[in-house]
Structure 1
Amino acid sequence: MTALALDEVVARYGDLEVLGPLSLELVRGQTVALVGKSGAGKSTLLSLMHQRWRTHGVALMPQDLGLVPNLSVYHNVYMGGLARYSRWHNLVTLARPYRRDVEQVRPLLKTLEIEHKCWSAAGELSGGQRQRVAAARAIFQAGDILLADEPASALDGPMAETVLATLTQAYDTAVLAMHDVELALRFSDRVVGIANGGIALDQPTHRVQASDLLALY
């Protein structure tokens, strides 16, 4: 079943066409890995998807993470669920978080091994810790579809696998832009290769090996 689709989309910076025209169909229940070298257009494609699909319950984990440095880890994660609560509830929790809300966030932080930083300011964290906070926020958002741009790039092997496993368990429909080919193959059902502003490869993961993707880099 088609979840969402792009049809002959184009991205331009000024008069320069940097992506497309390309079409892409996202199937419900499928995790898609976008692979390709830096500058190929993966982030641009994710941005287009978010612009077109943001009203369809799409959660975004951007490459710059989008955290608020002066707010605590808890508050940054809670921000993913702002739309579920009233404005008054959100204002109160900024000053004095409700216990039930904290109890919803803590298990996510524990799974991602960052619970001990719950009340630390996001700006005090390492790059890998911030990436885990952004992952927790995306999960707490509880959307229908996840778009994630390099969700594990700042993490070591075991923690990268933990984050990717947690994200893909939370969202059965996702698009993940990734540089690490091995991780992309392990955590996706389908691989879409981007090169020269277009789709150079689109195959089920079980038909693709890491060596098949070398031409994209």
Structure 2
Amino acid sequence: MTAPLVALTDQSLGWGGRLVLTGVTLQVAAGERIALLGRSGVGKSTLLAALHDRIAGRAALVPQDHGLVGSLSVFHNIWMGVLDDFGTPRNLRTLIWPARAERARVEHVLDIVGLSGLGRRPVSQLSGGQRQRVALGRALLRGGDVVLGDEPVTALDPAQGAALLGRLTTEFATMILTLHDVDQALRVATRIIGLRQGAVVIDAAAADLSETELLALYR
């Protein structure tokens, strides 16, 4: 039997000394596309962080706050996705004078996320939607076994969001995302985990769930 990528067994999870979720037991297998659903504050981000901390293997993360450095360029923020692939001398050189091949790698990603030609622009000059696409670009450049995203397309229009979620499904074998849009979750996920009142109340294949069942999480 293949070992899961990550597993939680009867875990209590929280942050800042505040308990958010109790009795969480679940496993994530390679190849799953999981959507975490529930009301704001129910613990989706807490659960995502716990899974990220326990992932075995290379993982790319798209945090809700984007995790960008405003004073640095788009290029350098995207290149952060692969900093741990290189030593300090290489990273210092790239900070000052990126090589042509490095710029080409990033420009390819910028094309994918719709930010072509903006590699030299400081992130502080970007809109919210552009910043979100930089965070997505950083994850795409990093690559890996799994991508985890905390509302990764919430600042994008529906068409852009759908296109980039589709791109994530082709670039990563496994995906775990918190989402706020039930229809979006049903389209992209193979499995949905629903949270309510501090616990996992739904854990089922997306094909077995209806929009009505999922909307009940928000009442």
Alignment TM class, shorter chain as reference: over 0.9
Please tell me the residue identity of whatever aligns with 1:3.
L
Matching of residues 17-166 of structure 1 within 5 Å: 17-53=19-55, 56-166=57-167
Q: Deviations over 1:22-60 (max 9, x none)?
A: 11110101110001110110001111112223x532222
Determine if contact 1:29/1:173 at 8 Å carries over to the other structure.
Answer: yes
Q: Could you tell me the TM-score, scaled by structure 1's length?
A: 0.95
Identify unmatched segments of 5+ residues in structure 2. none
Aligned residue-pair number? 216
CA RMSD between the two structures: 1.4
Q: 2:78, 2:15 → 1: CA distance?
A: 32
Q: Deviations over 1:118-156 (max 9, x none)?
A: 111111111100000000101111221111100000010
Residue of structure 1 equivalent to 2:183:
182
State percent identity of aligned pairs.
39
Identify unmatched segments of 5+ residues in structure 1. none
Q: Could you tell me the TM-score, scaled by structure 2's length?
A: 0.94
Q: Deviations over 1:49-75 (max 9, x none)?
A: 12223x532222110110010111111
Query: For 1:152, what is the secondary structure of its paired residue?
Result: coil
Q: Deviations over 1:52-107 (max 9, x none)?
A: 23x53222211011001011111100010011122111110101111111111111
Q: 1:14, 1:149 → 2: CA distance?
A: 19
Determine if contact 1:112/1:162 at 8 Å carries over to the other structure.
Answer: no
Determine if contact 2:190/2:207 at 8 Å carries over to the other structure.
Answer: yes
Measured after TM superposition, the shift of residue 205 of structure 1 is 1.1
Query: For 1:56, what is the secondary structure of its paired residue?
Result: coil
